[in-house]
Amino acid sequence: MKKIIFLALIFVNMSAFAQRQTPRELVDDFFEAFHAQDTTELKTFAHEGARLESVSIDAEGSTKLITGDYSKFLKGIASIPADATFEEKLHEFRVEENGPLATVTTPYSFYYNGAFSHCGVNSFQLVQFNGKWKIVYLIDTRTTQDCD
């Protein structure tokens, strides 16, 4: 009986630990699923209605803002050809947490089929719901200049 209680306590503690994923761990897991094109797993990281935006500067020097929703992002990931390769190399993580709100910023370089495509910064806005972090907003910048 003591063994059963002991195992039950271990299981409860492991379940509680799994619920306490950190903001950085969520973003790490997001990119692991992203590179695997695992849209089923990617869907679990976002709160329903999560928004995505991308900022860039066009040839005339004007700032462009493209807005989409998370489901459109998932469809885009699913549509990448199986023979294509892509990698988003993250250069660092900056994490700010305040209670149930967190911001994770990750400068990156993106490569498609082994060739440099663009660089920028991702900014993930996360909210903790019932002990679990979820993406509610993701904005990134994209440029091909000053990518050192």
Domain assignment present for 28:
yes
Instruction: Work out how many domains the chain is built from and give that number.
Output: 1
> Residue 120's closest CA among 93, 146, 84?
146
Domain assignment present for 90:
yes
> Residue 130's closest CA among 47, 41, 24, 35?
47
Query: What integer pLDDT is reported at residue 2 of this predicted model?
Result: 52
Largest CA distance in the chain: 74
CATH assignment at residue 42? 3.10.450.50
Whole-model pTM: value is 0.83
What is the distance between the alpha carbons of residues 17 and 12, in angstroms, rounded to a whole number?
A: 9
pLDDT digits (tens, 9 = 90+) for 11-59: 444 444 444 589 999 999 999 999 999 999 999 999 999 999 999 999 9
Domain assignment present for 4:
no
Both tokens assigned to 134? 């979820």
* Lookup result for tokens 């998932």: 74
Q: How many CB atoms lie within 10 A of CB 42?
A: 22
Residue 45 structural domain: 21-142
Both tokens assigned to 117? 């495509």
> Residue 137's closest CA among 128, 147, 127?
127
Average the pLDDT over 129-141 and give the result: 97
In the chain, the percentage of residues whose pLDDT exceeds 70 is 86
Domain assignment present for 10:
no
pLDDT digits (tens, 9 = 90+) for 58-110: 999 999 999 999 999 999 999 999 899 999 999 999 999 999 999 999 999 99
Q: How far is CA 53 from the centre of its chain?
A: 13
Domain assignment present for 11:
no
